[in-house]
Amino acid sequence: MFSKIKTCVLYGLEGYVVDVETDLSGGLPNFSIVGLPDVSIRESKERVRSALKNSGFGFPVSRITVNLAPANLKKEGSQIDLPIAVGILSANKDIKKNIDDKTCIIGELSLDGNITKIDGALPMVISMRENSFERVVVPVENRDECGAVDGINIIPVGNIKDLVNYFNDSLIIEPYRTEYGSFENTDLSEVDFSEIKGQPAMKRAVEIAAAGMHNILLLGSPGAGKTMIAQRIPSILPDLTFEESLEVTKIYSIAGLLTTNGLINKRPFRSPHHTSSRAAIAGGGSKPSPGEVSLAHCGVLFLDEIPEFPKSVIEVLRQPMEDGSISISRANGSFTFPAKFMMIAAMNPCICGYYGDPTHECTCSRSQIDRYLGKISGPLLNRIDIQIEVSPVKYDDLKNESDEESSCEIKKRIARAREIQKNRYANTRILTNSELSGKYISKYCKIDKESEMLLREAFEKLGLSARAYGKIIKVARTIADLEENEFIECRHIAEALQYRGLDRKYWR
């Protein structure tokens, strides 16, 4: 007696089809699984055995051989429990009819026969749709994330008994659709820009950064409001589109971090501590899971007190900052997770925090200051689009009762600037100015004679690098977009130049 069930395993965000072939034959009772099973699948054997017994189905007294094919694919994950159990039930004719090859089954079993939640259900379902499956049987607890996917039926099931009844046509389970309403951005962020008093220069720089997805370095003395403003940046970024939301949810699904019902509809804000390991930032591990750079995809990666991060950790940021993705290599091949984020870095200028502060005296020696600033490498500094120095909020500003602009108003301006960018880059894969590279910069960021002269002068006087040159023009493009101005003018370039002043003042 033989059966064949389809299931899925994940490599990064990509799901692959696996055949679970089960053969029951005479001979001494035995239960073996072949086809490169890893440790988790061996454990799965015990769960399947208990779950079947405790669901009232006897465990067949036969020689049971389960083959997971193709053999060359390494199978990982507890989602294989359920297809193995169904394979046995089907070969044993507890399930009467043949389960067709358009049905994929994923789910973990608990010893009592319940089907429990798995990590990565959403990316599996999306991949199975691409593989022309018609339906996926998923654990009930995974139904909200999966039910958002169009074009494939989601059959949520709570326990083995129900599933057997479903296949034997004695229980009807309607395909589950996540209410579209649950995607809508109902989130009214708890924090708002209006709470930040004064600080117009810092707010302006952050608004430009958000409008063009530029990364930004905030440098200033303690209590200047750097952490405060960073935490409020998601509240001015445009709402996630449906596609972005799916992408973000896939990543959180794999990481086992889905707490919402359905899709994530809020831009991520990740603020890893400087003691985080390289793997925690980049991703990886024995069960490959996305790191902070991927968890920040479509949102904000905030590196507070950036000089405290070890160099090796900062170095891993380079690839995602340039490519918008990160490759993780493992013994059995490498894969890629998306990692397109807006990086916000904050730091004090020295150990005591007050170097350059107008009201406090810095107690550090010059060599201490140099050593502290030296922790930020040239190549990293070079990759930052906007640098801004922030000083503590003025007393009068703090006491001022008049209303500060709310996140909602700033968000509208940013949304308009993003719309302009989207239209301009309609025939490319680019969404925002920060993504422009060499040939696109000359194509989309034309500047007039006057600006040209200003730039030339700055370039020679300040000794700017070619990369800095590109960044200045991109930032100027964003400033013009915020004004809804088609042309980059001299004053846009002049403002963009201001955001590159810190290297020289502090790093010399």
Ligand X SMILES: Nc1ncnc2c1ncn2[C@@H]1O[C@H](COP(=O)(O)OP(=O)(O)OP(=O)(O)O)[C@@H](O)[C@H]1O
Give residues in contact with ligand X (CB under 6 A).
Answer: 196-199, 222-228, 348, 393
* Least CB distance to Zn ion at residue 227 (A): 19
Of these partners, Zn ion, ligand X, Mg ion, none, which one is at the site of residue 223 (CB under 5 to 8 Å by kind)? Answer: ligand X
C-alpha span between 188 and 154 (Å, rounded): 30
List all residues 6 or more positions away from 40 whose beta carbon is below 8 Å from its beta carbon: 76, 77, 78
- Residue 494 CB, shortest distance to ligand X, in Å, is 26
11 interacts with Zn ion by CB under 5 A: no
Select from 150, 84, 149, 156 the least CA-distant residue to 123. Answer: 149
- Return phi, psi of residue 6, to 5°: -100, 135
370 part of the interface to Zn ion, by CB under 5 A:
no
CB closer to ligand X out of 173 and 228: 228
Per CB under 5 A, the segment of 196-204, 261-269, 360-368, 456-464 that binds Zn ion is 360-368
Binding Zn ion (rule: CB under 5 A), the pick from 122, 303, 352, 496 is 352
Residue numbers at the binding site for Mg ion (CB under 5 A): 226-227
- For ligand X, the closer of residues 205 and 298 by Cβ is 205
Residue 261 contacts by C-beta under 8 Å, 6 or more apart in sequence?
144, 178, 182
Closest CB 38 distance from Mg ion, rounded Å = 43
Please identify, using beta-carbon distances, which residue of 57 and 372 lies nearer to ligand X.
Answer: 372
Nearer to Zn ion by C-beta: 252 or 355?
Answer: 355
| Shortest CB 226 distance to Mg ion, Å | 5
Of the candidate residues 57, 183, 355, 444, the single one contacting Zn ion (CB under 5 A): 355
Other Cβ atoms within 10 Å of 70 Cβ, number: 12
Closest CB to Mg ion among residues 183, 309: 309
Quick one: DSSP state of residue 506? Answer: I
Residue 431's binding partner among ligand X, Mg ion, Zn ion, none (Cβ under 5 to 8 angstroms by kind) is: none
Query: What is the spatial distance between Cα 338 and Cα 433, in angstroms, rounded to a whole number?
Result: 19
Q: Which is nearer to Zn ion, 151 or 374 (CB)?
A: 374
Distance (Å, whole) CA 301 – CA 230: 9
Give the contacts of 340 (CB within 8 A, at least 6 positions apart).
Answer: 297, 298, 320, 324, 325
Minimum Å gap between C-beta 361 and Zn ion is 8
**Cβ nearer to Mg ion, comparing 226 with 477:** 226
The stretch among 6-14, 162-170, 364-372, 455-463 that binds Zn ion (CB under 5 A) is: 364-372
The least CB distance from residue 227 to ligand X, in Å, is 3
Contacting residue, 362, 408, 431, 441, with Zn ion by CB under 5 A: 362
- With tokens 């964003």, the residue in question is 478
When CB distances to Mg ion are compared, the closest residue is 227
Residue 355 interacts, among ligand X, Zn ion, Mg ion, none and using kind-specific CB cut-offs from 5 to 8 Å, with Zn ion
Q: Can you tell me the distance from the alpha carbon of 357 to that of 371, in angstroms, rounded to the nearest whole number? A: 18
Which residue of the chain is nearest ligand X when measured via CB?
225
How far is 387 from 201, CA to CA, in rounded Å?
11
User: Torsion angle of alpha carbons 138, 335, 286, 36, nearest 10°?
Assistant: 70
DSSP E strand boundaries for 119-192:
135-139, 153-157
How many residues make contact with Zn ion (CB under 5 A)? 5
Between residues 256 and 374, which has the closer beta carbon with respect to Zn ion?
374
Residues 178-217 touching Zn ion, rule: CB under 5 A, are none
At its nearest, how many Å lie between ligand X and the CB of residue 390?
7
Give, in order, the Cα–Cα distances in Å from 293 to each of 243, 336, 441, 443, 458.
19, 12, 26, 30, 34
* 358 upstream amide cis, omega within 30 of 0: no
Residue 364 in contact with Zn ion, rule: CB under 5 A = yes
Q: Does 350 help bind Zn ion (rule: CB under 5 A)?
A: yes
Q: In a 3-state reduction of DSSP, which class is residue 342?
A: strand
Minimum gap (Å) between residue 220 Cβ and ligand X:
6
| Beta-carbon-side half-sphere exposure of residue 464 (alpha carbons within 13 Å) | 24
When the beta carbons of 218 and 342 are compared against Mg ion, the nearer one is: 218
